[in-house]
Amino acid sequence: MKAYLKIFSVWLIIILGFDFCFGSSILNTFYYRPNNSRVSNKIFHHTFATNAVEKEYWGPRKYDFCTNKFGFKISCENDYEGKEFDIAFIGDSFTEAVGLSYEESFVGIIDKSLDTLNIANLGVASYSYSIYLSKVNFFLKNNINFKELVVYPDISDIHDEALTYFLKEDLVVAERNYNKISDIKLFFRWMFPANYLFLNKIKKYFFNSENIRMRKRAEWTYNLSSDAYGEIGIAQSVKESLDIMDTLYELLKSQNIDMSIGVYPWPEQLKNDSVNSVHVEMWKKFSKERGIKFYNSFPIFFNLVEDNGLDYVLKKYFNENDVHFNHEGSKIIAKDFLDNRIVEKPSKKNLE
């Protein structure tokens, strides 16, 4: 037994030592390159690096990724250097459009259609209401101006507000529960990247962990008794989220900036929810009470499911084995926005 334990220990040292010395180089050469464009921010938690020109990776997909001097995702051909924007969009990974170039995203499609306007995309993966308010407040204080803010709150934002983010004084975003286990995982990932990737894939394959995690993040709209929302729970997270969005509305109103809200379904909503989802109704009511524009893409997708079946819609409009829209899905969101929008007072693009 001692002999086997000694052999195992030697092999473990060799494997981990090899991974420590060469793991990153091997993965970068043959598998993927780390996304270096995502950086932390001391005010609104995280954002993109400024003036990035890179190749981003989302699963097996590689795509062009560029940002401007403010860290907003842009077309790599965009040369606008001004601080005045007609429309700013904010949301999480759907608005950022992970897995898609700017031109393939719904913001990019809208930008191309409204080519006389200057468009800003403030969306970044893993954002939620606290970050929306903090980030917008930060840029307004730094004289980055826009005439309208379009917020696309994501289904997962309620989960993130319940478990991850909260606002401190001066609208600084902090994490609710500091978790040392997360630091240990990050340390292991940095020290032994190949082994981390291998073990993570085993976990996903045998335990279907990613699908379970994503389902839990989305189920509040059709399972109000879910226990996946921590001590705060769904009802309190919803209340706090509405309060944050009301504060954002009042901030914009004080600056004479129009606010709009848009919603879209996840695959989980198409499977388990209805076209009149709690998510839809809460933001419809919020918008009506404040007299602001409300873009609702739920009916379009539910009609597509009714006409073509769920499997067809998931395959055609969403990334494979993922909750996010592909290019075809982005076209639907963009068309819904454009069909229901009245453009007023256009400004010439690329002028400061």
> What is the per-residue pLDDT across 282-332, written as a single tens digit (0 to 9) for each?
999 999 999 999 999 999 999 999 999 999 999 999 998 899 999 999 999
Task: Report how far residue 146's alpha carbon sits from residue 144's, in angstroms, rounded to the nearest whole number.
Answer: 7
Interacting residues of 162 by C-beta distance below 8 A, sequence separation 6+: 229, 230, 232, 233, 234, 236, 237
At 63 the three-state DSSP class reads: strand
Q: For position 58, what pLDDT does the model report? A: 82
Q: Is residue 271 classed exposed, middle or buried when 0-12, 13-18 and 19+ CB atoms within 10 A define those classes?
A: middle
Helices (H), the chain: 2-30, 93-96, 106-113, 129-141, 157-163, 180-191, 193-207, 209-218, 233-254, 267-272, 278-290, 298-308, 310-317, 327-339
pLDDT band, very low/low/confident/very high, at 178 (cuts 50, 70, 90)? low
Decide which of 185 and 230 is more confident.
230
Q: How many residues does the chain have?
A: 352
- The token duo for 283 is 């933001």
At 126 the three-state DSSP class reads: coil
| C-alpha closest to that of 300 among 320, 280, 319 | 280
Amino acid at 342: I
Task: Report how far residue 233's alpha carbon sits from residue 333's, in angstroms, rounded to the nearest whole number.
Answer: 30
Q: For position 344, what pLDDT does the model report? A: 46
